[in-house]
């Protein structure tokens, strides 16, 4: 028996540590979040060559590394957080946590904190690999803007990920729901395809209403030497309208998620459901 | 003060009434079992007391709290072992106990718990590699890591093989010897008999009997049964005429067993008849239970 005061902050810290440990022990999640975007980068630069893109003035590697960094960050927060949270809910893990003194917000903060940490790793790994393999350049003036864009971007997609987990009727449906929303958006948001001047203005406008294109654009511009030069000092690098769009989505998703989020398993506890069925069959 | 007070508890799911007015009290330090078939309302009742569900009507008090509105203070003092295992598969046994223990202001040491539930050899193993029984014992460790005053055990051994069940029972018996209050649900008669100080039989959302395992359903007052078989073709006479046939056996209800045994064995010796497989017993808890719950067709 040890009696000791526990601060909420240290609880958050330990929750993050354990969520990280679980993440790294789940090879599939680690692969899709860290390795998958790297593979895309290699494939795209191999297929298209690492030439200068005439329309936007940067090399393919420079463009794709920033786009894939955003994709990795979004996978870590939106897709992973949604899927892992829904599985934990349907396994009954959330329900058990709810029966302990751990405040719910600390548990959620642990999951979000871990997802953000892994998103940061995905971005750093992508940029490090890009700079070594494809000569991707990083500009000091745009770094503050990139960091703020990252923080608001992952916060926005973490809130959306939790909302998807809350709305999904079962954990099986969660990856479908997450990918069916993310992938089409990625195609029209300049993540997989370069949005040049030939892109229909209407499509661009529609994509701009969703949070992915603003995230990608603000990130991409920070790596575009012409854009960085044109915007002047570090304060000029900030993409205020794009940040505003992401913050609106973040607040909306967070408010809605807190209303619809449940801690009870849906469609029966997964293992328990199987066990009951097999007992009934006996 | 009672650890748990339940008065006229009612729970509806839409039009379906799962709990239809239940009353009971659990005293501190007592092991109280809710015994009943699947779907009788046991888990619903327990989950309301744990604070996992809201009630439709009635009053409850758990350790002086209303679980529906209680917060962190209440959860510091209770431990819950849910019906299905739910532990992060990728953590080791030690890590799982550790992370769950951290959330309590007062906790038992990981080492002590690993020993208490007999998982020393699996301490470093991932949860996903544990057998069903080992997972359940780990759940038990997680339920008591906060050193609770009151422990909820929802069907702690469902799906166990007999030896795993014996092991789990000895772990639970260990806990109760520490003076913890335990509310247990089960649909196994032997489990209630083995672990509980008092039992309430619940059927279709109502408590149909309550008492100690020995007195439940009037078992203490029930008359003793003497039963036996006879060789084929034996002519029944004398005291055996009072016996009723039950299949190929004869049963005598007796309040004075000694006299009845003396009479029938005397008659048998005198007539040179062999009494085969003589048994003397009272109605088992299972008999009482099946009668109370309407034949147990639910299971």
For the stretch B133-183, pLDDT in tens is: 888 889 989 999 999 999 999 988 877 778 878 888 888 888 788 788 999
Would strands B106-107 and A2-3 be described as parallel, antiparallel, or unpaired?
Answer: antiparallel
Query: What pLDDT is recorded for position A57?
Result: 63
Asked which of A140-154, A158-172, B188-202, B217-231 is least confident by mean pLDDT, the reply is B217-231
Neighbour-count burial of B25, counting CB atoms closer than 10 A to its CB (0-12 exposed, 13-18 middle, 19+ buried) = middle
Q: Please tell me the distance from the alpha carbon of residue A128 to that of residue A131, in angstroms, as a whole number.
A: 5
Chain B contact present for A99, CB below 8 A: yes
Q: Could you tell me which chain B residue has the CA closest to the CA of A18?
A: B99
Domain-embedded: residue A155: yes
Query: What pLDDT is recorded for position B216?
Result: 79
Average pLDDT over residues A165-186: 93
- Which of the 8 DSSP states describes residue B223? P
Q: Report residue B281's pLDDT band, with 50, 70 and 90 as the boundaries.
A: confident
For the stretch B65-102, pLDDT in tens is: 999 999 899 999 999 998 876 899 999 999 999 999 99
- Give yes or no for residue A9 having a pLDDT over 60: yes
Q: Percentage helix, strand, coil, to 5, in chain A?
A: 75, 0, 25
Q: What is the ipTM of this complex?
A: 0.82
Q: Could you tell me which chain A residue has the CA closest to the CA of B144?
A: A100
The residue of B72, B90, B103 whose CB has the most chain A CBs within 10 angstroms, and thus the best one to mutate to test that interface, is B103
Judging contacts by C-beta atoms under 8 Å, the chain B residues touching residue A21 are: 90-91, 95
Q: Please tell me the distance from the alpha carbon of residue B16 to that of residue A108, in angstroms, as a whole number.
A: 34
Domain-embedded: residue A167: yes
Q: Please tell me the distance from the alpha carbon of residue B43 to that of residue B184, in angstroms, as a whole number.
A: 10
For the stretch A57-77, pLDDT in tens is: 677 888 889 999 999 999 999
Judging contacts by C-beta atoms under 8 Å, the chain B residues touching residue A103 are: 72
Chain B contact present for A52, CB below 8 A: no
Q: Are A100 and B100 an interchain contact pair (Cβ–Cβ within 8 Å)?
A: yes
Q: What's chain A's length in residues? A: 282
Determine contact, residues B92/B123, Cβ cutoff 8 Å. Answer: yes
For residue A65 the two structure tokens come to 């590394």
Q: Are A4 and B105 an interchain contact pair (Cβ–Cβ within 8 Å)?
A: yes
Residue A82 CB neighbour total at 10 angstroms: 30
- Whose structure tokens read 């809605």? A256
Hey, CA dihedral for A62, A63, A66, A71, is it positive or negative? negative
Q: Please tell me the distance from the alpha carbon of residue B31 to that of residue A25, in angstroms, as a whole number.
A: 40
Q: Give how far Cα B18 sits from Cα of A27, A41, A264, B42, Å.
A: 43, 57, 18, 9
Of the candidates A15, A95, A271, the beta carbon closest to that of B52 is on A95
- Give yes or no for residue A90 having a pLDDT over 60: yes
Judging contacts by C-beta atoms under 8 Å, the chain A residues touching residue B95 are: 18, 21
Domain-embedded: residue A98: yes
Q: Please tell me the distance from the alpha carbon of residue B254 to that of residue B284, in angstroms, as a whole number.
A: 16
Q: Rg for chain A (alpha carbons), in Å?
A: 20
Would strands B31-35 and B198-203 be described as parallel, antiparallel, or unpaired?
Answer: parallel
Query: What pLDDT is recorded for position A151?
Result: 97
Q: Report residue A269's pLDDT band, with 50, 70 and 90 as the boundaries.
A: very low
Q: Please tell me the distance from the alpha carbon of residue B299 to that of residue B293, in angstroms, as a whole number.
A: 11
Q: Give how far Cα A245 sits from Cα of A123, A149, A211, A239, A252, Å.
A: 21, 11, 6, 10, 11
Q: Are A22 and B91 an interchain contact pair (Cβ–Cβ within 8 Å)?
A: yes
Chain A contact present for B90, CB below 8 A: yes
- The backbone torsions φ and ψ at residue A191, rounded to the nearest 5 degrees and listed phi first, read -90, -50
- The backbone torsions φ and ψ at residue B284, rounded to the nearest 5 degrees and listed phi first, read -75, 165
- Give yes or no for residue B36 having a pLDDT over 50: yes
Query: What pLDDT is recorded for position A205?
Result: 87
Judging contacts by C-beta atoms under 8 Å, the chain A residues touching residue B100 are: 100
Q: Could you tell me which chain B residue has the CA closest to the CA of A24?
A: B90
For chain A, what is the mean pLDDT?
Answer: 87
Q: Report residue A1's pLDDT band, with 50, 70 and 90 as the boundaries.
A: very low
Domain-embedded: residue A2: no
Q: Report residue A267's pLDDT band, with 50, 70 and 90 as the boundaries.
A: low
Interface of B with A in 13-52 (CB under 8 A): 50-52
Q: Does domain B4-218 have CATH number 3.20.20.30?
A: no
Report the number of distinct structural domains present in chain A: 1
Q: Report residue B221's pLDDT band, with 50, 70 and 90 as the boundaries.
A: low
Domain-embedded: residue A110: yes
Among candidates A152, A151, A117, which has minimal Cα distance to A18? Answer: A117
CA B141-B142-B147 angle, to 5 degrees, is 80
Domain of residue A93: give its range. Answer: 8-281
Q: Give how far Cα A149 sits from Cα of A209, A244, A277, B112, B252, Å.
A: 16, 10, 49, 48, 87
């Amino acid at each position: 028996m040890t009696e000791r005061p526990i601060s909420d902050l240290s609880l958050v810290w330990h929750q993050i540590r354990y969520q990280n440990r679980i993440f790294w022990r789940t090879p599939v999640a680690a692969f899709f979040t860290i390795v998958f975007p790297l593979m895309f980068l290699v494939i795209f630069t191999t297929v298209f060559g690492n030439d200068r893109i005439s329309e936007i003035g940067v090399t393919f590697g420079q463009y794709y590394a920033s786009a894939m960094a955003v994709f990795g960050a979004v996978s870590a927060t939106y897709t992973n957080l949604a899927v892992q949270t829904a599985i934990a809910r349907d396994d009954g893990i959330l329900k058990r946590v709810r029966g302990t003194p751990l405040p719910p917000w600390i548990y959620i903060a642990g999951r979000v904190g871990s997802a953000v940490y892994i998103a940061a790793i995905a971005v750093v790994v992508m940029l490090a690999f890009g700079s070594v393999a494809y000569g991707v350049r990083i500009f000091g003036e745009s770094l503050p803007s990139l960091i703020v864009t990252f923080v608001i971007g992952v916060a926005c997609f973490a809130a959306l990920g939790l909302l998807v987990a809350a709305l999904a009727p079962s954990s099986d449906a969660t990856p479908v729901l997450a990918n069916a929303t993310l992938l089409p958006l990625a195609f029209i948001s300049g993540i997989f395809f370069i949005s040049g001047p030939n892109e229909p203005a209407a499509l661009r406008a529609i994509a701009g209403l969703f949070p992915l294109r603003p995230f990608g654009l603000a990130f991409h511009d920070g790596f575009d030497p012409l854009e960085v030069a044109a915007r002047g000092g570090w304060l000029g690098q900030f993409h205020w309208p794009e940040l505003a769009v992401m913050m609106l989505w973040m607040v909306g998703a967070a408010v809605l998620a807190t209303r619809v989020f449940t801690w009870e398993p849906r469609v029966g506890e997964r293992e328990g459901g199987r066990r009951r069925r097999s007992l009934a069959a006996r | 003060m009672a650890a748990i007070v339940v008065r006229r508890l009612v729970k509806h799911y839409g039009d379906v009434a799962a709990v239809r007015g239940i009353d009971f009290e659990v005293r501190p330090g007592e092991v109280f079992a809710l015994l009943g078939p699947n779907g009788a309302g046991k888990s619903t009742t327990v989950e309301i007391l744990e604070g996992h569900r809201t009630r439709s009507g009635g009053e409850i008090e758990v350790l002086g709290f209303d679980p529906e509105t209680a917060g962190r203070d209440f959860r510091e003092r209770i431990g819950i072992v849910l019906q299905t295992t739910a532990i992060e598969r990728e953590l080791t046994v030690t890590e799982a106990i550790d992370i769950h223990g951290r959330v309590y202001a007062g906790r038992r040491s990981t080492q002590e718990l690993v020993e208490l539930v007999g998982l020393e050899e699996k301490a470093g193993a991932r949860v996903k590699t544990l057998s069903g029984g080992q997972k359940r014992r780990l759940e038990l460790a997680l339920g008591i890591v906060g050193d609770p005053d009151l422990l909820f055990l929802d069907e702690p051994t469902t799906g166990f093989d007999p030896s795993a069940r014996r092991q789990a029972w000895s772990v639970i018996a260990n806990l109760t010897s520490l003076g913890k209050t335990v509310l247990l649900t089960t649909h196994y008669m032997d489990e209630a008999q083995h672990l509980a100080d008092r039992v309430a039989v619940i059927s279709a959302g109502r408590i149909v009997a309550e008492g100690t395992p020995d007195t439940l359903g009037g078992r203490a007052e029930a008359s003793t049964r003497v039963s036996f078989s006879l060789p084929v073709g034996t002519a029944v006479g004398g005291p055996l005429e009072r016996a009723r046939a039950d299949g190929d056996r004869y049963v005598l209800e007796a309040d004075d067993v000694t006299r009845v045994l003396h009479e029938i064995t005397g008659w048998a010796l005198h007539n040179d008849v062999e009494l085969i497989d003589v048994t003397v017993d009272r109605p088992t808890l299972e008999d009482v239970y099946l009668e109370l719950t309407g034949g147990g067709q639910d299971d």
